[in-house]
Amino acid sequence: MKLGSAVMVDFGLGEYITQYPSKRYPIYTRGNAGEVWPEVAYPLTITLTRVVGEQAAAKAAIKAGVISPKDILEGPSCFGGVFAGYMYLNLSFGRMIAVRTPGTTIEKSDATYYGSEQHAPEYIPHRDDRSLTASLKLIRYGWRMLNTTEISSLASDRDLVIEWQKRLPELLQSDNQKLVAALREIMEPAMNLFTNHLEITGQAGGAVQLLSTICEERFDDRSLALTLLGSLGDVDSAAPSFALWELGRKVAHDAKLTDLFNQGILGLEERLRNSYYASDFVEEFDTFLSEFGSRGPNEWETACDTWGTNPGSVLILIDRMREADPTKSPQLRTELLAKKRDRALSLARTELKGLGLWLFNKTFNAATLFSKARERSKTTIIDLIHVARLLSRELAHRTAEHRENSELIDLWFVLETELDDFIENPSSFDEKISDRKHVREELSKRTPPFIFEGNLPDPLLWPLRKEVNPKEFSALTVGDTLQGFGGCPGVTEGIARIVTDPSNPGSLGTGDILVAPLTDPSWTPLFVPAEAVVVDVGGQMSHAVIVSRELGMPCVVAVTNATQLIRDGSRIRVDGSSGEVIILDVPDK
């Protein structure tokens, strides 16, 4: 068994899925991984996809020339992995890549991909980190990146997903054995899509880093790169916000629809579908679900609901959107940001000449192309995952019918190697599933370390989420400053609203500042009515930064424990360039 293989281990709470950390690359981070996989992963998902992730990461890195097979002899944990149910990325491995990449630094790499630069241990050189061969290959790879004008894999990958979507109705009618076979079969195309996504992500990160470096060295303003990449248009992760805004405006401008929403979220979908006056709205709503139904909280996890499987979660967002100030229209915001971008781009080109201008133009075009492509390739993967989700849900429904007191979620507590036995005799797994459920519940109550080095700290010693120290709140006074990473330029002030669950935005309203632990696409609609976004974690390539740039709102990420340190209702100032969050006023207790 390779060191990185996923196995069941008892942490004192009972057995749960985990991997053993790499000894060669010992530092792991929740940075970025916490966005993609915020919750405790399920055993079935991990054991079904582990090989996919390992092979995709290896193929992408070897193709880029940054590693050779000897660099990853320990297996998948070289790239990252799941530890006590929580997903991590390998920061040490990322730092090795930074060392081998000409023109970058450990700090820039940490900030771009992980948002870990303020938390991670100091880099300690390893004799095998440097590789002249890898550096030369990366220069050649970077040259190809700068001269890329089209990414053909985007279209072919989309066609692949469409074929699976066409097969889905027939597959859902097949027997249990064929459903399991389809789940295993879909892993190979998933690996190919993920390989392409990782390759594009690496090039996007490289182009953005190079653009930031040019702005820093030639204009003494690293944050200028964020302005230059604002409001690019056709960014998949921002698209749901524009669609939801239109649905929200439709409700706001229609008295009958408003009345249906005013009666509360409970039973709202049924009221809408039974109302003659809401027929146009329902048609647009269903179109939204058809286009964006694969998106939602924890969308990489097939066990979790998405907007398509839980339409009520979308109505909650529309309900919040309908109350937004019309001036918060994402269309208006992007138009203003596009003008700022065009002015900044024109000024930069005016001040540069010769080779400097040539390199700037090449880098800007590459950063634009690959940043948009990264979001497109991610959407394509998510759509294929949704096919796997619907196949899994059908299997879960069938197996639940043969067990007393069963739940739909039970399927995901079975290992991939146990699937065949499970569908033959689901009841024989009752005790095993019950035990694993209990362990996952206990792990979910705890906050995993954001960074760990060497062995994973004992989960029994992780702080419980409910144990919040009130002294942390009182420590912040007027004038105190929290430092994060600037994600989108702009300075604004507003009331901080702490939101820990996108389906329960609390009192977040127009002009408020959203303060969140992390963000994935399910959070995106909450950005629209807000004045700015502050996030506990995240790097320059994080979801919050990309969407904020597209919507034209100040954003600061990697503000450690912002959701705990900033008291809800405080008035704060957010500087999206410097990364500073200043406390202006603190409400009475």
pLDDT in tens, 81-122: 999 999 999 999 999 999 999 888 888 777 766 665 567 888
Contact, 477 vs 461, CB < 8 A? no
Question: What is the rounded distance in angstroms from the CA atom of residue 111 to the CA atom of residue 473?
Answer: 27
Question: 114-128 burial string, b = 16+ CB within 10 Å, else e?
Answer: bbbbebbeebeeeee
Q: What is the dihedral of CA 266, 272, 273, 278, to 10 degrees?
A: 180
pLDDT at 467: 60
pLDDT at 274: 96
Question: What is the rounded distance in angstroms from the CA atom of residue 572 to the CA atom of residue 556?
Answer: 12
Q: The whole model's pTM is what? A: 0.90
Within 10 A of 183 (CB to CB), how many other CB atoms are there? 20
Residue 91 half-sphere exposure, CB side, CA atoms within 13 Å?
A: 32
pLDDT at 6: 81
Fold of 470-585: Glucose Oxidase; domain 1 (3.50.30)
Question: What is the rounded distance in angstroms from the CA atom of residue 208 to the CA atom of residue 371?
Answer: 8
DSSP 8-state class, residue 446: B
Nearest CA to 338 out of 443, 233, 429 is that of: 233
Contact, 396 vs 411, CB < 8 A? yes
User: Which residues on adjacent β-strands are paired with residue 55?
Assistant: none
Question: 144-157 burial string, b = 16+ CB within 10 Å, else e?
Answer: ebbebeebebbeeb
Amino acid at site 227: T
**φ, ψ (nearest 5 deg) of residue 487:** -110, -35
pLDDT at 127: 93
pLDDT at 331: 84
pLDDT at 329: 85
Question: What is the rounded distance in angstroms from the CA atom of residue 434 to the CA atom of residue 89?
Answer: 29
Residues in the chain where the model's pLDDT stays below 50: 1-3, 470-473
Boundaries of every domain in the chain: 153-398, 470-585
DSSP 8-state class, residue 205: H
